[in-house]
Amino acid sequence: MLRTIGLMSGTSLDGVDAAWLETDGHEIHSFGPSLTLPYDAALRRDLRAILDLAPTLDADNDQLADATDRLTTYHVQAVEAIRRPADLIGFHGQTILHQPHLRRTWQIGDATMLARRTGLPVAFDFRSADVAAGGQGAPLAPVYHAALARDLPKPLVVLNIGGVANATWIGRDGSLVAFDTGPGNGPLDDWAARHTGARYDRDGCLARSGRPDKLVLDRMLSHPYFGRPAPKSLDRLDFDALFAESGISNLSAADGAATLAAFTVASIVCARFPENPVRWIVCGGGRHNPVVMDALRSSIHVPVDPAEAVSWDGDGLEAQCFGFLAVRVKYALPLSFPETTGARKLVTGGRIVSATD
């Protein structure tokens, strides 16, 4: 058993999540505290700008180096704020580019600095080995979802709604199917920021006050991504060109928000699995949006419950996952599988840097 602190900063750019966990990389022995450290507005703005620049950015770009430094400092502070001894850190880093078809996935963050400043070994670079093995490099959560769901009735779907949404289907025999279903909160966050100045549509108030536009929604759902078989994964900005052509910019703030929330839900509902699940469990920030949750419940005819219904930590779950995966890196256990990322084989990924490296 190892005590680990997992760190996840998702595509929503809202901040870094940290969570403590004790595990052997197979079973979860005990859960500890979790927390979110929100980024300051300047870092969020700079990271958002970097997302747009990333395809043409050099790794030694000054702006990138500066943002990486500030980002890593937040991670150091998140580890300190957990206030529990640990043996290992799992450091996902901030994804600024995800183009698996070009064999590229890019997470920023300085693992060496994090190790030195916390005095702990740090597992990082979880995705690139999978991409090098022909995989999507995402999602990596399925093996953790399966460990969490060990004693729950199956088939089961675990849905994570972050900036992008991803689903893990777990069969009766433990088999896994996983993929990004489509956008999660990302487009709605951007829309809310543009129209209201708020970081996201809190409690779905804006979306609730509008009506989805059927024509715009149908244009969005015509994206070829939805017809593609799994495994498949998305970049946070993959749908931006589609949004520009969809006519959404002509809608009112409320109707646009309603349309984007409906788009997230429709893209989740059209996901197909080998066998119908008996239940959906939802984690990630999207489960706090009642417009999204209500619409999911009215379209899916089995229970759709937030993570808390099965005593999981819905906000800390992704961070726990990277602590769990860090331990799997340490023990050279696979992180991904042909069924979850499309890699040609089981892939043990990640690297570990020690505090004295």
Ligand X SMILES: Nc1ncnc2c1ncn2[C@@H]1O[C@H](COP(=O)(O)OP(=O)(O)O)[C@@H](O)[C@H]1O
- Interface with ligand X (CB under 6 A): 10-12, 14, 162-163, 185, 189, 200-204, 284-286, 288-289, 318
Nearby residues of 51 by Cβ (< 8 Å), 6 or more positions away: 13, 96, 97, 236, 237
Nearer to Mg ion, 162 or 342 (CB): 162
Long-range own/partner contacts, residues 103-106 (CB < 8 A, 24 or more apart): 103/131, 103/132, 104/131, 105/131, 105/137, 105/138, 106/54
* Partner whose binding site includes residue 336, from ligand X, Mg ion, none (CB under 5 to 8 Å by kind): none
Nearer to ligand X, 107 or 185 (CB): 185
Nearer to ligand X, 72 or 289 (CB): 289
Q: Which amino acid is at 7?
A: L
Q: How far is the CB of 72 from ligand X (least distance, A)?
A: 17
Distances (CA, A) of 58 to 45, 53, 104, 106, 313: 19, 10, 14, 12, 37
Q: How far is the CB of 16 from Mg ion (least distance, A)?
A: 8
DSSP assigned state of 334: -
Reduced to 3 states (helix: H, G, I; strand: E, B; else coil), residue 65 is helix
* Partner whose binding site includes residue 185, from ligand X, Mg ion, none (CB under 5 to 8 Å by kind): ligand X
* Partner whose binding site includes residue 339, from ligand X, Mg ion, none (CB under 5 to 8 Å by kind): none
What is the maximum alpha-carbon separation in the chain?
58
Nearby residues of 267 by Cβ (< 8 Å), 6 or more positions away: 165, 181, 182, 183, 221, 226
Nearer to ligand X, 7 or 327 (CB): 7
Distances (CA, A) of 155 to 27, 64, 179, 273: 19, 43, 16, 10
Nearby residues of 45 by Cβ (< 8 Å), 6 or more positions away: none
Site string for Mg ion, 2-41 (x = CB under 5 A): --------x-x-x---------------------------
* Partner whose binding site includes residue 11, from ligand X, Mg ion, none (CB under 5 to 8 Å by kind): ligand X
* Partner whose binding site includes residue 200, from Mg ion, ligand X, none (CB under 5 to 8 Å by kind): ligand X
* Partner whose binding site includes residue 204, from Mg ion, ligand X, none (CB under 5 to 8 Å by kind): ligand X
Q: How far is the CB of 70 from ligand X (least distance, A)?
A: 17
Phi, psi torsion values for 49, nearest 5 degrees:
-65, -35
Q: How far is the CB of 227 from Mg ion (least distance, A)?
A: 29
Q: How far is the CB of 204 from ligand X (least distance, A)?
A: 6
Q: How far is the CB of 248 from ligand X (least distance, A)?
A: 17
Distances (CA, A) of 192 to 93, 199, 247: 25, 7, 17
133's tokens: 């093995």
* Partner whose binding site includes residue 318, from ligand X, Mg ion, none (CB under 5 to 8 Å by kind): ligand X
Q: How far is the CB of 293 from Mg ion (least distance, A)?
A: 18
> Considering CB under 5 A, how many residues would be counted as binding Mg ion?
3
Q: How far is the CB of 344 from Mg ion (least distance, A)?
A: 31
Reduced to 3 states (helix: H, G, I; strand: E, B; else coil), residue 19 is strand
Nearer to Mg ion, 14 or 180 (CB): 14
Q: How far is the CB of 99 from ligand X (least distance, A)?
A: 18
Nearer to ligand X, 95 or 340 (CB): 95
Window 316 to 345, contacts with Mg ion (CB under 5 A): none
Is 94 a binder of Mg ion (CB under 5 A)? no
- Whole-angstrom distance, CA of residue 113 vs CA of residue 34: 22
E strand or H helix that includes residue 75: helix 62-82
Cβ atoms of 211 and 255 within 8 Å: the answer is yes
* Partner whose binding site includes residue 163, from Mg ion, ligand X, none (CB under 5 to 8 Å by kind): ligand X
Binding site for Mg ion (CB under 5 A): 10, 12, 14
